[in-house]
Structure 1
Amino acid sequence: MRKKLKVLTALLISTVTAISMFGCGNAKTNEGKVTVRLNEVTRSVFYAPMYVAMSEGFFEENGIEIDLQTGQGVYIHLR
């Protein structure tokens, strides 16, 4: 019984590894640019990694155009 469990576990780990390797391929099916609209409530240090990626051109390298907008927060009072 223990041997079957070990074989089954090894098979499961191998299958998950193979799926993750092939599922995350670098094939570009859409050659055009994709525009992503981001609406942030306020400029904040929490968005720093995104600002750095935008300024370094990481999004453009991957065919993503960022439309960054600063919106207004909305307060909803529920009774």
Structure 2
Amino acid sequence: MIVPHFGDQPFWARRVHALGASPPPIPRRRLTAERLAQALLDATRDSQMQAQAQQLSERIRAENGVERAIEILTGKP
């Protein structure tokens, strides 16, 4: 589950949820123990959500984001 705080985090929280890899995001100002507990239960009991999260994590890992950012910033492959 995602609790967005600032910047682009609300966008990415909605996107991850839309991809089926997390429960709906919980805005920080609406975060309660009950909401967090329910999101944890939803995430741990939903095997399809877990599979989507695993698939998404593999795609993100394959991007090599740090290496790509360094290439862009330094102009060196």
Q: Report which of the two has the higher share of helix.
A: 2
| TM tier relative to shorter chain | under 0.3
Q: TM-score under structure 2 normalisation? A: 0.27
Which one scores higher on RCO, CA 8 angstroms, separation ≥ 6? 1
Q: Report which of the two has the higher share of strand.
A: 1
